[in-house]
Structure 1
């Protein structure tokens, strides 16, 4: 096929999405970007589709969306004349307007009837918008052909339309969840994720337009109208209506509104949620909903969210499979009009009682509520509020001084321990001062060196927090070879800052060893002359710069066969830090041995190499990991400081995974989300969750 040249002179492949008539509708077909994925024999979009499809099937099975007992979400055309929509001719062209009514199983087929490939799904809180988005992705991927566009869900709450273009943000989200897509495309310039988006090989489901801060929704509306991408967008009805007021809505987008559940559908699900013998207990609830269509029970149990909560709280089977007979009064509780005079009171009761229903032990429920409340509060405190609970950002809403102090203390403590232990055998072997002297000197030198390194690491972390090129990121999680992009983006800053800090720290260490230690009567006479004094800063400065350069050169793509999950990313980040520690040990050990070979005996230079290698690994390597890697920040804040102060549990990942099994949270690629936004809002209103335990 002939290639075309864009206005900026860049050669591009042919248009990748063609629309052709298929069964009276429009089918989206995407051509390949011509890249085979790292020896797997499959195109990147096919590799991506396979991984998403596997994960979505697992999630659907866990949530019961494909269960025959599930609620059947339906939708209709909007009947509100004040809801701004685009001109029908710009949505449907010259042809007749298609019927878009349908149910959950038909969402992909309904979407294909829209010539523009843009669908907006509106509904009130808990009406099933996110479930519909997940079902669309699953149906689309099951029907797609090789090389075609791949659908995936993106939570709009983490998008800042005033600062980031939609296509760039989509590429960043793909790279975050699947680091192998962060590899630079063979044609150069863009990453694989950016290339897939630019070639329209990603069909995004943009979930939660209402989660974008109100002040940014107008920017979001304009950019969603201006983009050339097709998409499915979900939003709460009122927030979307306000955002498009006095406009023509989103350009080229068809709009549907999720309908309330009929009483028979609601009670059918409630009956099937427990044993057959308990189904009759819901008959009074159905009778009340039929007899009183304007009553609180009918209004509350008209959305999938509230029906699911009613099944969990007052049914016979909780989401984790435990029996609810010992902790609930049964469905008749919902008929108490004095206790629940309004739908809001009834809905709040179901939300409040949800956690005790899935954590049957009261002590477990209290702890889970406190920990989940902190997580909800943490999400609300972000600079841009987001529904995405990313492990590498936990604790970053703590005051910067507090975080810096924690990082500095841990880095200094590790270096102090290694230095103290390392100095004791050296003094025992090379001097005749005895064990007591060696222990006292080791403790003193370790403490002083630890204070200096802790201060240096604290400075680096403080500086990195305000610098996008330096701050910890989960994207670079494994070693890769194509370092060109990384060398341009931030490596020079890391080398400069790291080398200068290491040089200054080494000068301070020499000054302490030559002044404070002798003043306290613990000089062992092994310090050497001026040559040795000058040698240490050079080793630290040159070694640090060389380590950072070598580390960047060794970076390589992630194995594409690995699944993208929080646990997987944590493991890969941990391996990355281990590799950093090994590089620090080898580089510092070699430089110390090589430098010492000119001024010391062979045995003495070998000893220097071993000592500097060990101290480089646990001082430089671990300090670097704590300051500048996502895993190090996670360990310091989320695994040590936050559990120590009672904000989060010690076994945090186990708790998060268990919360997913109990349906309080859900997995969304490499991040977690609260399964119900209203539950997150309720927990945010709890007692101040950030106050540490006494």
Structure 2
């Protein structure tokens, strides 16, 4: 456990002394501001304080009454010696406030006007809206914020105080008061001149909660020209493959796609905001970076001059510092303290129902009051276990969900040392009970139109589905956080995915061919209905087998190559990006090869198998002529289709707000474009060739048939093997639900899990609420459903698993 013994004592609120003088501090500041002819906004900018803080001071509302804060006001107001004495008296001090340098981190360039400032404001509004919603969703501050406190880590893990204070050579460092709790994290950060802060803590200690609260506090007090704090989940960064700047830009574009708009220099708004020092990165989860990459990550962070906030577990960060023989440059390091039994006593009883059940046979241990009183008074082993287990915000949140929100559960059972011999047993009990508790059966809520508002998911199935999703993240190349719909199923074996996608592509092509042959044989031949049906079935089966084999090979080839890797895209008729234009050349060659192979196989089947069976319809003409004329032509058309689709694709980065469902809807609409493209290119070319060889009527007939077959046969096969939507349909909407590993209504399930507080939404992806919940669900799924397998999670460091 992390103790806060010996931490700096918080400065007491001295507002009452300020009110004891004739002129209050607020009235004095307001008078001096008006004499200087400044607005509150102008004073806030000059003093490097929030406009909201200025308003609270002038209205004599509670704020952090510190000498440095008022000194900055005095400097901004250009107060003379007498006014400084009055400010000192109003504050309750004994000496005049001396002029001093501001303690705030360096401010961003004053870009109060123009499109860049507008983009920063739009980003701030969207970020504030998003994280406020997440805070409310998880009720992390209801009925009040937990008193998460910290202590400053001494030199060794942190940099020298001279560097964190940005002192010139020869200057003497002075102690900066960095004490506080969750409610004052933004104020503490403003006292760090370097603008670089590291927050350490063990699993569940509140690092992510602090990151969100820090960002919201800064956003609430942000002036127009100040940096916008943006939270980045650091676990997906590979510093050996992607530079920090490029990775930050990619994350901004993914989570805030409106920043993809180009500025006159040719850069995106995301790049311009970052380069112009208008983004404050809040890097959450340094410990989630793969173990062998943390040293490289620390080196990259040290090479960057960006102010930043970093969160990590203690051991992982300390190990990186030792391996690189250097701390995070110019960074102050704080360590979160464990919550105490007194903290629990003040918080958990207030989460109990307002009207608990009357005392009865189960009265003892029925409420948090009785349980915590017993733990505090008796000093029993059960009480000690409970206090140790509930020393982090994560475990307190799980205990609240399991007991305060469930009337039939009694928290007194947590004192039973037979069931729970140590704190770890209590923690595992709370982790295991979280999902069943939030998915307990309730009467369905209804909307005004009478339709159910929230789906009723079976708790056992929900646990299995969430376990599969957590295990999916672990079974990728390393444990990940981002749950992206277009990557679901990619943790399956490559051979299994190829078989599934090849089968579905072949089925689509075969059914389309069989149906397409019926009207042709009925209209253009005199063989009758029975012949048309039999030939359609045979041709559909054989062509489907050939197409399934071909598209399976295409997927096998494409799944390991970046140029073909499925991801959410949009169609941009004005042309895609430089990268997609480069991909178009590669796709043209693949399409040309696939077209040659496909047409050669189909002609061989028609002439070598179908015709000898007596099912030739006489529509294909001479086999040699067909091969010489149509195989190269359709191969060229197939290459053109592949290239055209790649040329017009661009990453989905245009909407101002993107959710997973939004991206899925965009990618689904792209499929219609694919079908039209296949129909037009193949249909027009084949119709033109047939018109030249056999006449315009035959050209129109064959062109139409080929166009429709190409659209719904080849187009669907292309979509299944080479698009994010196709991979989603084949694996996540058909195969995984069919095998019981995911629900059929997957998007509805993910959205519901977010509403229940199991997942959180970060831009276009979901993440589990906490890495420890993700690890627990993954281990439970593997132990129950794959006990014979030892994947990446089976060999992980046990400390990482907890």
TM surpasses 0.5: yes
Distance 1:20 1:616, change over 3 A: farther
* Alignment CA distance shift 1:451-1:664 (3 Å): same
Aligned CA-pair RMSD: 2.7
Asked whether 1:217 is paired with 2:294, we answer yes
Tell whether the 8 Å contact from 2:571 to 2:648 is kept in structure 1 after alignment. no
Residue ranges of structure 2 left out of the alignment (5+ in a row)? 1-44, 50-71, 73-101, 168-172, 358-365, 443-456, 788-802
Q: Distance in 2 between matches of 1:625 and 1:308?
A: 44
Deviations 1:145-174 (A, max 9, x none): 446433222111111122222112122222
The answer to whether the 8 A contact 1:182-1:193 is kept is yes
Shift of 1:31: 5.7
CA distance in 2, matches of 1:349, 1:210: 25
1:325 matches 2:325: no
* 1:8 alignment partner in structure 2: none
What corresponds to 2:737 in structure 1?
Answer: 643
Q: Which residue of 2 aligns with 1:84?
A: 157
Aligned counterparts of 2:215 and 2:294: Cα–Cα separation in 1: 25
Indicate the SS of the match to 1:573. Answer: helix
Distance across 1 between alignment mates of 2:225 and 2:542 = 61
- The answer to whether the 8 Å contact 1:539/1:588 transfers is no
Shift of 1:54: 2.2
Shift of 1:497: 0.9
2:133 equivalent to 1:47: no
TM-aligned CA deviation for residue 273 of structure 1: 2.1
Aligned match for 2:429, one of 345, 349, 353: 349
Please give the residue correspondences for 1:160-309 in structure 2 after superposition, counting only pairs within 5 Å. 160-182=238-260, 186-188=264-266, 190-245=267-322, 247-278=325-356, 281-291=367-377, 292=379, 295-309=384-398
Aligned with 2:227 (options 144, 149, 164): 149
Q: Which residue number in structure 1 is paired with residue 619 of structure 2? A: 526
- Give a deviation string over 1:325-380, Cα, whole Å, max 9, x none: 24x2x121122122222111111111111122112149822111211111111111
CA distance in 2, matches of 1:552, 1:162: 28
Deviation digits for residues 571-625 of structure 1 (CA, Å, limit 9, x no counterpart): 1111222222222222222222222221233222222222122122122322221
Structure 1 Cα separation of the partners of residues 165 and 262 of structure 2: 38
Give SS of 2:557's match: helix
Distance in 2 separating the partners of 1:553 and 1:397: 29
- Where 2:322 maps in the other structure, the secondary structure is coil
How far residue 482 of structure 1 moved from its aligned partner, in angstroms, is: 4.4
Distance across 2 between alignment mates of 1:528 and 1:125: 72
CA shift for structure 1 position 511: 1.5
CA-to-aligned-CA distance 1:42-68 (integer Å, 9 cap, x gap): 844333333222222222221224544
Gapped regions of structure 1 (runs ≥ 5): 1-17, 318-323
> 1:438-470 deviations in whole A, cap 9, x for unaligned?
011111111121122212211111111111111
Q: Tell me if the contact between 1:288 and 1:297 (Cα under 8 Å) persists in the aligned partners.
A: no
**Contact 1:20 1:26 survives alignment (8 Å):** no
2:58 — aligned with what?
none
What corresponds to 1:121 in structure 2? 199
Following superposition, the deviation at residue 668 of structure 1 comes to 1.6
Q: Mapping of 1:358-377 within 5 angstroms?
A: 358-361=438-441, 364-377=458-471
- C-alpha distance in structure 2 between counterparts of 1:148 and 1:613, whole Å: 57
The aligned residue for residue 29 of structure 1 is: 108
Please name the residue that 2:703 is paired with: 609
* Greater Cα shift, 138-147 or 26-35: 26-35
Alignment partner, residue 588 of structure 1: 682
Deviation per CA, 1:297-329, whole angstroms, max 9, x where unpaired?
1111121111111111122x2xxxxxx224x2x
- Judge conservation of contact 1:299–1:343 (CA < 8 Å) in 2: yes
Shift of 1:202: 2.5
Say which of 332, 335, 349 aligns to 2:415.
335
* C-alpha distance in 2 between matches for 1:461 and 1:618: 18
- Identify the match of residue 656 of structure 1 among 750, 775, 789: 750
Q: TM-score if structure 2 supplies the norm length? A: 0.77
- Contact 2:257/2:655 (<8 A) preserved: no
Normalising by the residue count of structure 1, what TM-score does the alignment of the two structures yield? 0.89
Name the structure 2 match of 1:74: 149
For the 8 Å contact 1:498–1:545, the answer to whether it is kept is yes
* SS at structure 2 position matched to 1:277: coil
Structure 1 residue 691, shift from structure 2 partner: 4.9
Secondary structure in 2 matching 1:276: coil
